[in-house]
Amino acid sequence: MKPGTPDPSSRLVRELGPFMAIAIVIGTVIGSGVFKKPQLVAEKVPFFGPAALVWVMGGVLALLGALALAEVVVLYPKAGGNYVFLREGYGRMAGFLWGWVEFFFIRGGSLAALATVFAESLNNMLANPAFRQSVGADPSSAGLSPWEQRWLTVAVILGLAIINVRGVRWGGALQVFITTVKVGSLLTIMVLPFAFMALAKGPSEAPPADPARLQPIWPNSWSEFSLPGAGAALFGVLFAYHGWMNIAPVAEEVRNPHRNLPLSLLGGTLTVIFLYLGANLAYYLVVPQPEMAGLSNTSVATEFSMRLLGPIGAALAAAALMCSTFGALNGNLLVGPRLLYAMGEDRLAPRFLAAVHPRFHTPATAIMIMGSWAAFLIVAVAVLTQIEILPPNKAHFDIFTDFAMFGAIIFETAAVATIFVFRSKYPDAERPYRCWGYPWVPALYVATMPVVLVMVFLAQPIESLIGVGFIALGTVVYFMCFGERKDAPAPEAEESPVGPSPTSGAS
3 state SS of 12: coil
What is the rounded distance in angstroms from the CA atom of residue 113 to the CA atom of residue 325? 9
- Work out the mean pLDDT of the chain and round it to a whole number: 84
138: pLDDT strictly greater than 70: no
Give the model confidence (pLDDT) of 448-498 as tens digits. Answer: 999 888 877 877 788 788 888 888 999 999 999 887 554 454 443 343 343
User: In the structure, what pLDDT confidence band is assigned to residue 141 with cuts at 50, 70 and 90?
Assistant: low
336: pLDDT strictly greater than 80: yes
Phi and psi based region of residue 499 (left: phi greater than 0; alpha: psi -120 to 50; beta: remaining): left
Nearest to 184 by CA among 316, 40, 52: 316
Q: Residue 453: is it exposed, middle or buried by C-beta count within 10 angstroms (0-12/13-18/19+)?
A: middle
Contact 252, 79 (CB under 8 A): yes
For residue 456, the model assigns a pLDDT of 76
For residue 205, the model assigns a pLDDT of 57
Range of weakest confidence among 7-21, 170-184, 250-264: 7-21
Which H helix or E strand runs over 169? helix 168-199
3-state helix/strand/coil string of 56-121: HHHHHHHHHHHHHHHHHHHHCCCECCHHHHHHHHHCHHHHHHHHHHHHHHHHHHHHHHHHHHHHHH
**Domains of the chain with bracketed CATH:** 18-198+224-484 (1.20.1740.10)
Cα dihedral: 256, 507, 366, 20 (round 10): 50
Length of the chain in residues, anyone? 507
Give the model confidence (pLDDT) of 88-115 as tens digits. Answer: 999 999 999 999 999 988 888 888 888 8
Sign of CA dihedral 157, 158, 159, 165: positive
For residue 394, the model assigns a pLDDT of 59
For residue 506, the model assigns a pLDDT of 35
Prior bond of 450 cis (ω within 30°): no
Nearest to 451 by CA among 388, 409, 497: 409
Give the model confidence (pLDDT) of 182-200 as tens digits. Answer: 999 999 999 999 998 887 6
3 state SS of 41: helix
499: pLDDT strictly greater than 70: no
What is the rounded distance in angstroms from the CA atom of residue 435 to the CA atom of residue 377? 39
275: pLDDT strictly greater than 90: yes
The letter for the amino acid at 485 is R
137: pLDDT strictly greater than 70: no
What is the rounded distance in angstroms from the CA atom of residue 66 to the CA atom of residue 293? 31
What phi, psi does 79 have (nearest 5°)? Answer: -65, 135
Q: pTM for the whole thing?
A: 0.85
Contact 334, 116 (CB under 8 A): no
For residue 23, the model assigns a pLDDT of 92
What is the rounded distance in angstroms from the CA atom of residue 414 to the CA atom of residue 421? 10
